[in-house]
Amino acid sequence: MNKFDIAVIGAGPGGYSLALILAKAGNKVVIFEESFFGGNCVNRGCIPTKTLMKSARIANTLARSKDFGIDSENYYDLQTMFKNVANNSAKLQNAIKGGLTTSNVTIIEASATVIDENTIEANGSQYSFDKLVIASGSRPNFFKIEGAEATNVYTSDDLLTKNPKFDELTIIGGGAISLEFAYFYASFGKKVTIIEAAPQLFANLDESISRAAKAVIAEKGITLYEATKVLRYEDGALILENHDGHIYHKTNNILLAVGRRANNEAFASLNLKFNEKNFIEVNEFFQTSIDHIYAIGDVTGKLMLSTVAYKHGDIVAKHIITGSSDEKFNARFIPWTIYATPEIASVGSSEQQLQAQGIDYEVAEIAASSLPRAHAENAFKLGFIKLIFNKKTFEILGATIFLDEASLLINQIALAIKSKLTILDLQKSAYTHPTLSESIYYITRQIVFSNLDK
């Protein structure tokens, strides 16, 4: 039998990065991957969608080219865009696989089945391990719509891998995946509709997220139904229900963007504890109910982001190498972005959360129209930056940035929140002019000088 110190199931962001760290620390590591190296991020999520969003951003710039004194033809080739998706994914797959090989990680490209607490079977061979890290990821939720059996019903995976042709698309679900696909297809003239069952988009997040998302939706001409149920599909239309009654929404193409579920099949034999949504329960070091078996990333249900999987992997690697970890996972410190134009990024606590905790806070907000660089780039009509801070200490508690480059700017706020920096700390720093990053200076300066003792 093949004997290893560490076995890792899944070569997504958390799995492969953890394997590299542990191998470089002197452990004998084996990693199992039945599909594509890089996981959902490289092949079905982050990288493919960002590749498409780059095309969408260029298209939107070209659509406004006359504003900059340039005349351009309105031509696009979706086939080339999706070829770029495949090419970029393949490059990263090869880079990840090459890095693992160079680091002497044993690679098994096969489906893995855990047969007991110290043994995995794959391709008819058995592999024993001292410690196991489950990083098996997730897949899109799918449910049947009554009457839609003969209709085109897609998941996000389907759109990215099959590139179906259509002129209209109805998206059920109003999360980040929904908004990015809606933005992409609307950028190329497709008629897009979003149907959200909750009272409003991103109802469990800060109100500013919903406000920003709706601004993007309105600007792109996307139709939005909130607080709306899907009843069935009938005679070429979805039958919807909301406060206005029944709605007959004609569509032949439906994207289900209603969350994701854990890939749990490989370790069904283990007596692990799961929560009510069938995600693995873990402790602060990401140990499962079996101490030498860890779980990281999507399979734990703790924010399904590559950023999160990387941080989980860091904590587990430290725990395996040293027996402890000097960092703990806290979702409040995790920044995230919706890659529309402008980008929508957020980190920290929402107003709703702070109200529930009884924390006395204040809010400051400035519009993109206050930023010289936004005017220089004719990008001042949409956008804002919002900061939430402790009313007494001025410690930064949360932020939403709705600007171009928000995905970059939010990282400074994330560091500030984690480091317990104050509004004054950021105001004292200097920022290059003219840039969008100085939006942080403008808003913190506004707060500081409006609160100076006279």
Range of the domain at 178: 152-256
Q: What is the rounded radius of gyration, in angstroms, for the C-alpha atoms of the chain? A: 24
Among residues 54, 53, 70, the alpha carbon closest in space to that of 62 is found at: 70
Domain boundary among 295, 312, 329: 329
Least confident stretch, 324-328, 349-353, 403-407: 324-328
Same-domain status, 36 and 73: yes
Tell me the average pLDDT of the chain: 94
* 121 occurs within a structural domain: yes
Binding residues for NAD(+): 173-180, 196, 259
- 280: confidence class by pLDDT, cuts 50, 70, 90: very high
* 147 occurs within a structural domain: no
* 406 occurs within a structural domain: yes
Contacts (Cβ under 8 Å, ≥6 apart) of 194: 170, 171, 173, 174, 178, 179, 182, 201, 217, 222, 223, 224, 225
φ/ψ (deg, to 5) at 260: -135, 160
Q: Which tokens go with 375?
A: 């005017």
State the DSSP H helix or E strand holding residue 87, giving kind and residue range, or none if neither: helix 78-102
* 146 occurs within a structural domain: no
CA dihedral 223, 226, 228, 234 (to 10 degrees): 10
* 365 occurs within a structural domain: yes
**Average pLDDT of the residues in 153-170:** 94
Q: Is the distance from CB of 224 to CB of 201 less than 8 angstroms?
A: yes
**Separation of alpha carbons 196 and 178, rounded Å:** 10
**pTM for the predicted model, two decimal places:** 0.94
Burial 130-162 (b: 16+ CB within 10 A, else e): ebbbbbbbbbbeeeebeebeeeebbbbbbbbbe
Same-domain status, 313 and 419: no
- 158: confidence class by pLDDT, cuts 50, 70, 90: very high
Q: pLDDT value at position 372?
A: 95
Same-domain status, 266 and 178: no
**Average pLDDT of the residues in 287-304:** 96
| CATH classification of the domain holding 192 | 3.50.50.60
Report how far apart, in Å, the C-alpha atoms of 235 and of each of 108, 151, 158, 238, 247 are: 48, 11, 24, 8, 13
**Average pLDDT of the residues in 65-90:** 85
**Average pLDDT of the residues in 362-370:** 97
Helix axes 78-102, 46-63, angle to 10 degrees: 140
* 414 occurs within a structural domain: yes
Asked whether the predicted pLDDT for residue 66 surpasses 90, the reply is no
**Average pLDDT of the residues in 227-236:** 96
**Average pLDDT of the residues in 60-64:** 84
| CATH classification of the domain holding 399 | 3.30.390.30
Asked whether the predicted pLDDT for residue 378 surpasses 60, the reply is yes
Least confident stretch, 1-15, 52-66, 92-106, 254-268: 52-66
Domain boundary among 256, 282, 313: 256
Q: pLDDT value at position 92?
A: 94
**Average pLDDT of the residues in 24-33:** 97
Binding residues for FAD: 50, 298
Q: Is the distance from CB of 14 to CB of 138 less than 8 angstroms?
A: no
Binding residues: 50, 173-180, 196, 259, 298
* 145 occurs within a structural domain: no
Q: pLDDT value at position 70?
A: 78
Catalytic (active-site) positions: 433
pLDDT tens-digit series, residues 94-150: 999 999 999 999 999 999 999 999 999 999 999 999 999 999 999 999 989 999 998
Same-domain status, 12 and 120: yes
Asked whether the predicted pLDDT for residue 302 surpasses 90, the reply is no
Burial 388-404 (b: 16+ CB within 10 A, else e): bbbeeebbbbbbbbbbb
Same-domain status, 173 and 236: yes
Q: pLDDT value at position 379?
A: 87
Asked whether the predicted pLDDT for residue 324 surpasses 90, the reply is no
Same-domain status, 249 and 266: no
* 345 occurs within a structural domain: yes
Q: pLDDT value at position 62?
A: 85
Q: Is 149 helix (H, G, I), strand (E, B) or coil?
A: coil
**Separation of alpha carbons 343 and 359, rounded Å:** 29
Q: pLDDT value at position 3?
A: 95
- 76: confidence class by pLDDT, cuts 50, 70, 90: confident
Helix axes 13-24, 306-322, angle to 10 degrees: 30
Q: pLDDT value at position 60?
A: 86
Q: pLDDT value at position 72?
A: 74
Least confident stretch, 141-150, 221-230, 381-390: 141-150
Higher-pLDDT residue of 408 and 161 is: 408
Q: pLDDT value at position 65?
A: 80
Q: pLDDT value at position 71?
A: 73
Asked whether the predicted pLDDT for residue 356 surpasses 80, the reply is yes
Same-domain status, 265 and 130: yes
Q: Report the number of distinct structural domains present in the chain.
A: 3
Same-domain status, 161 and 224: yes
Asked whether the predicted pLDDT for residue 69 surpasses 90, the reply is no
Same-domain status, 109 and 52: yes
Domain boundary among 329, 361, 387: 329
Same-domain status, 135 and 266: yes
Count CB atoms within 10 A of the CB of residue 221: 10
Q: pLDDT value at position 350?
A: 97
Same-domain status, 266 and 360: no
Listing DSSP states for 416-453 in one string gives HHHTT-BHHHHHHS---SS-STTHHHHHHHHHHHHS--
Q: Is the distance from CB of 179 to CB of 216 less than 8 angstroms?
A: yes
Same-domain status, 301 and 322: yes
